[in-house]
Amino acid sequence: MKTSAVITLVTAVFLLSGCNSEPSEQDLYNAMNKVVEQTNAIVKSIAGKDVPKDALRKLKSVKKHDCVEVSDKSYKCNVTVVVDNEKRSAAVILVKMDDGWQVVDK
């Protein structure tokens, strides 16, 4: 009985600890990729269906350096991003939404 209670408690603590954690590198990639996709959609809507391939951007990688909690559900993260062949470092602010992390400031 005691062992079962301890296992349940440890499992509950482990599961709850992930609720307010900072975004992972994959979370950052997904959030930044949404921004790139939105930008590409705007380009397509302006240029029409004959958009040159080089006018559209492709997110190649995101490297997370660190994140600092700004508020309950938001973090400021320092990242290095490679879009096409351009590498840039920046600080981005992300907010935890129901469907995942979203970039709100870059």
pLDDT averaged over 10-residue windows placed end to end, the chain, 106 residues: 41 44 96 96 88 90 97 95 95 95 87
Q: Give one word for 101, left, alpha or beta, with left for phi > 0 and alpha for psi -120 to 50.
A: beta
Find, among 54, 106, 98, the residue nearest to 73 by Cα. 98
* Strand boundaries in the chain, DSSP class E: 59-71, 74-83, 86-97, 100-105
- The residue written with tokens 């062992």 in the block is 3
Euclidean distance between CA atoms 106 and 100, whole angstroms: 17
CA 48, chain centre distance (Å): 29
Euclidean distance between CA atoms 79 and 90, whole angstroms: 6
Collapsing DSSP states into helix, strand and coil, what is residue 92? strand
- DSSP letter, residue 57: -
| Assessment of whether the complete model's pTM goes beyond 0.85 | no
